[in-house]
A and B are shown apart, each in its own frame.
Chain A
Amino acid sequence: MTTTTERAVGQPIERIEGPDKVRGAARYAAEYQVGDDLAYAWVAQSPVASGTLNGVTVDPLVEADDVLAVLWHGNAPRLAEADDPELAVLQSERISYRGQALALVVARTFEAARRAAATLQLDIAEDPHDTVLRTDHPELYAPEKVNPAFPAATSSGDVDAAFEAAPVTVDVTYSTPALHNSPMEPHATTALWAGDDLVLYDSNQHPPGIAATVGALFDLPPERVHVITEHVGGGFGSKGTARPNAVLAAMAAKVTGRPVRLALPRQALFSMVGHRTPTIQRVRLAAAEDGRLTAIDHEVVEHSSRLFEFAEQTAVATRHMYAAPNRRTGHQLVRLDMPTPRWMRAPGEAPGMVALECAMDELAVALSLDPIELRVRNEPSVEPESGVPFSSRHYVECLRRGADRFGWHDRDPRPRQRREGDWWIGTGVAGATYPTMAQPSTARVRRLAADSYEVSIAAADLGTGARTILTQIAADALEVPVSQVRMRIGDSTLPKASVAGGSSGSASWGWAVTGACRALRSSSSSSSSSSSDEATFDSSELIEKQEKDGKHAFGAHFAEVRVDAVTGEVRVSRLFGMFAAGKILNPRTARSQFLGGMIMGMGMALHEESVLDPAMGTWVNHDLAEYHIPAHADIESIEAEWLDEQDDQLNPMGSKGIGEIGIVGSPAAILNAIWHATGVRIRDLPARLDKILPHI
């Protein structure tokens, strides 16, 4: 029997694939050598937001020696019906948004494909378009559900009467712009056909899902599609399902009989792979003199596309955040001539908690109450809307411990009190929450030798550390050192894994890995088993039987900003996050994920904004020079810590997801700090200097 001195889970083990990544040896989707006859594809995108593509004319003199195919709806292979209409590429003459793929050039060289695509003549009949989200849009409607399956509207008590009667109320509207995930690795696929089977080297968050989706379009069962996703250069939600690049590459490979590489150019990511919907959110809070909320009302306006309904769950976090007897939440959508919004890190929570947590700050000011104390006074004992208990909730502890660590207590609550040279200085706080989920997955373990195990699951590591923490989980379940475990992920032919999304990867895959490893150990210890060198475990049944209590991670963000009195520039001097997210599986990678989320939250507060040109019907800043994400120089002091939270209602590891909670609340903490520094309340994100300067 093997004994180990120390559990691996909880240890700050370095990333297993780290040495490959720092040597440039880690391979991404566009980097596989797949033969001398590799062809390159380039997409011709729609220059109009609405219309009809009547024809495509190819100049026969352009790159004539190298162009292998020009595909458009007039000649492209027919695909089977797509669940996701955006994947029905080159199937219809209808143009639903600017940037939609209208044609695909396949050529022997990258340069020839790009040049030929640029010279195609697209015969388009343009229609008028409507791309502007507004609260008085005549086509606003209330969807039935918001993602993934929440009711779009909820109501309890008498909200209107509570507002009539309340001594203190806040009624504010916050708006957030369209945002783009912008992973460093643009979406890419290298596709080839091996007989009737399809092989896709694809950058995504869910290899088995891509195999099923793309397979269905080509009338192939999932097992005939082999998706290889060894390393992923970030996704942040935008690679959660198959994107058009996978379908286009597979189609091009089929038509040309060659392997085809399609790496989308950065600019195409701003229309072809999804964005976070802009939101306009009205939050009303009513409170008694002592700060106890008597009513909460959170109404959201956001958009979807002509192609299908995507309804972001923006107000859903408000349903469990604070106690109040009277409450209402609602969402309204308008279908615009725009690309369909998709998931971007903490969809719903990230924009929704901007409005709620900034409104709470405004209420604290109206009540002359410390914003932490206001939150503590409205701590619910059970989920306020559903009435179910929380599996664990340590929000107040995050606020209090975070306040101690940040140095909140000697804060002067009045705004515009601290000035050092040209800088106004202030601090702010905001809460964070993210649901704790687990999804059915299957894992397999094989004993290769007395001291060597191979664990397999079709998971994807987007930089989350999944490969590393699954190795730790397997080692503990097998009761062997991590050096004896070889983890295989990133391949759709491995046992089926759920998506790397919803902060559910570790919980879902770790559950299956634990089950398989425990099954192998128990079969090894019973002398009768003949198949004791292999075990497989499917977590579906256990997840189905889980207690339906309220499972959420919580946290609190603290920000110190300085605002230049001359230019209005905002600098975040300090950003501190305190989290209660169950068992932390690997402190090294967990801290990085928390910090990464907080930095993306800083981007949301200060930098990130996809600027719409209503005349063109598109975002004009569609590259990394103009869509500003935080850079090295934007980061000063930033730290994340966590409570040692025990929760045995969750999964065998006792873990909550941590990939998204860092971006929830951090933007609000920064905006609240800007108010404290300057007295200027920014309600339209991002807090650009031109919005601050006129008021200071």
Chain B
Amino acid sequence: MDLVVNGAEQSLDLDPRTTLLDALREHLGLTGAKKGCDHGQCGACTVLLDGRRVNSCLILAITLSGSEVTTIEGVDHPVQQKFLEHDGFQCGYCTPGQICSAVGMLDEFSQGWPSAVTGSGPPDLSDPEIRERMSGNLCRCGAYPNMVPAIREAAER
């Protein structure tokens, strides 16, 4: 099967049971996306699939022929610098997923997508909005209060 990963075409011969996450980590050597639960519960494996954030552990790779995948290795976004400035991580294991998720989330926001905490009218990127929209990405170190201002400031740039 063929897949475009971080702009490069990749040809892969995969077991039909191989997830996108395992294809990236075990077959392409792209270990930036992390395996935290393998069940779509923690968000550490988040990548961008055709521009949208997905849990790569929940998708079988063979269903994606022709798709474009962006992993943390292919991300170049202001949120990364802001994570450094705000200390938006400790162990770093959830970090690639948090950053990919933030990039995808900001795009969803710019398209006017509402969230569970959005009132009537267009949403503004308040801290409660960021927290709600980022809640699919767990962080056991508890770096949440540092990630939220990092994402907010990255969006303001």
Question: Which residues of the partner chain A approach B99 to less than 8 Å between Cβ atoms?
Answer: 22
Tell me if B18 and A17 are in contact (CB < 8 A): no
Question: Which residues of the partner chain B approach A64 to less than 8 Å between Cβ atoms?
Answer: none
Interface status of B56 (Cβ within 8 A of chain A): no
Within 8 A of B (CB), among A230-246: 231-234, 236
Q: List 7 A-B contacts (CB under 8 A).
A: A30-B35, A184-B93, A592-B146, A595-B146, A625-B39, A633-B132, A635-B144
Tell me if B142 and A184 are in contact (CB < 8 A): no
Tell me if B87 and A592 are in contact (CB < 8 A): yes
The CA of A465 and the CA of B143, in the complex, are separated in Å by: 13
Q: Whose C-beta in chain B lies nearest to the C-beta of A640?
A: B145
Interface status of A596 (Cβ within 8 A of chain B): yes
Within 8 A of B (CB), among A425-473: 462-465
A207 vs chain B, min Cβ distance (A): 16
Interface status of A632 (Cβ within 8 A of chain B): yes
Cβ 8 A contact of A266, one of B31, B36, B73, B143: B36
Cβ 8 A contact of B44, one of A26, A184, A591, A600: A184
Question: Which residues of the partner chain A approach B107 to less than 8 Å between Cβ atoms?
Answer: none
B137 vs chain A, min Cβ distance (A): 7
Q: Whose C-beta in chain A lies nearest to the C-beta of B91?
A: A463
Question: Which residues of the partner chain A approach B31 to less than 8 Å between Cβ atoms?
Answer: 24, 27-28, 30-31
Contact with B along A218-234 (1 / 0, CB 8 A): 00000000000001111
| Contact of A233 with B92 at beta-carbon distance under 8 Å, contacts A24-B32, A111-B15, A600-B142 already known | yes
Question: Which residues of the partner chain A approach B85 to less than 8 Å between Cβ atoms?
Answer: 14
The CA of A82 and the CA of B24, in the complex, are separated in Å by: 38
Kindly list 13 other residue pairs between chains A and B, CB separation below 8 angstroms, not including A18-B84, A632-B147.
A17-B92, A22-B84, A24-B75, A28-B34, A182-B140, A185-B36, A231-B92, A465-B90, A589-B90, A592-B87, A595-B143, A597-B142, A632-B137
Q: Whose C-beta in chain A lies nearest to the C-beta of B85?
A: A14
Cβ 8 A contact of B135, one of A14, A19, A23, A633: A633
Q: Whose C-beta in chain A lies nearest to the C-beta of B44?
A: A184
Tell me if A595 and B142 are in contact (CB < 8 A): yes
Within 8 A of A (CB), among B56-78: 71-73, 75
Tell me if B38 and A24 are in contact (CB < 8 A): no
Question: Which residues of the partner chain B approach A464 to less than 8 Å between Cβ atoms?
Answer: 90
Tell me if A463 and B29 are in contact (CB < 8 A): no
The CA of A408 and the CA of B130, in the complex, are separated in Å by: 30
A532 vs chain B, min Cβ distance (A): 37
Tell me if B38 and A463 are in contact (CB < 8 A): no
Tell me if B90 and A234 are in contact (CB < 8 A): yes
Interface status of B104 (Cβ within 8 A of chain A): no
B103 vs chain A, min Cβ distance (A): 12
Give the size of the chain B interface in residues (CB under 8 angstroms).
57
B residues with a Cβ closer than 8 A to A are 15, 17-18, 22, 25-26, 29-39, 41-42, 44, 71-73, 75, 80-81, 83-85, 87, 89-96, 99, 128, 130-132, 134-135, 137-148
Tell me if A463 and B84 are in contact (CB < 8 A): no
Give the size of the chain A interface in residues (CB under 8 angstroms).
60
* Total of A-B residue pairs, C-beta within 8 Å: 177
The CA of A28 and the CA of B90, in the complex, are separated in Å by: 14
Q: Whose C-beta in chain B lies nearest to the C-beta of A40?
A: B26
Question: Which residues of the partner chain B approach A266 to less than 8 Å between Cβ atoms?
Answer: 36-39, 41-42
Tell me if B84 and A638 are in contact (CB < 8 A): no
Interface status of A588 (Cβ within 8 A of chain B): yes
A501 vs chain B, min Cβ distance (A): 15
Question: Which residues of the partner chain A approach B138 to less than 8 Å between Cβ atoms?
Answer: 184, 624, 629, 631
Tell me if B91 and A184 are in contact (CB < 8 A): yes
Q: Whose C-beta in chain A lies nearest to the C-beta of B93?
A: A233
Q: Whose C-beta in chain A lies nearest to the C-beta of B145?
A: A638
The CA of A188 and the CA of B2, in the complex, are separated in Å by: 30
Question: Which residues of the partner chain A approach B29 to less than 8 Å between Cβ atoms?
Answer: 33
Q: Whose C-beta in chain B lies nearest to the C-beta of A263?
A: B35
Question: Which residues of the partner chain B approach A23 to less than 8 Å between Cβ atoms?
Answer: 32, 72-73, 75, 80
B54 vs chain A, min Cβ distance (A): 16
Tell me if A635 and B36 are in contact (CB < 8 A): no
